[in-house]
Amino acid sequence: GQNIDQPTEMTATEGAIVQINCTYQTSGFNGLFWYQQHAGEAPTFLSYNVLDGLEEKGRFSSFLSRSKGYSYLLLKELQMKDSASYLCAVVDSNYQLIWGAGTKLIIKP
């Protein structure tokens, strides 16, 4: 079957760095998304990786290793507004998105 694994919850301190990991086993691979979802709101796009390596976008970076079935989202200079759930999703061979359960990130002052 298809499976996306990410930690359920993480806690970090304001101003620090946090890495959220995602491992996947899917039928085919056509890219990986990271979305951010604040409580009670819609998920919003953060990043897309289809080739191995690191994609940097401001304070957020996303890394992909296709051979290891692994990705991470790196958040730097954490702010209180970064408290949210972070969803990992993989595009499978049918171009459908397979979603992880999300990682709830709690930022403490």
Q: Is 97 in the site for another protein (CB under 8 A)?
A: yes
Smallest distance, another protein to C-beta of residue 105, A: 14
Inter-residue long-range contacts of 44-49, CB under 8 Å, 24+ positions, other chains counted: 46/73, 46/86, 47/73
Alpha-carbon distance of 42 to 61, in angstroms, equals: 21
Q: Is 50 in the site for another protein (CB under 8 A)?
A: yes
Number of residues that bind another protein (CB under 8 A): 23
Among 78, 91, 105, 107, binds another protein (CB under 8 A): 91
Q: Is 23 in the site for another protein (CB under 8 A)?
A: no
What phi, psi does 17 have (nearest 5°)?
A: -120, 140
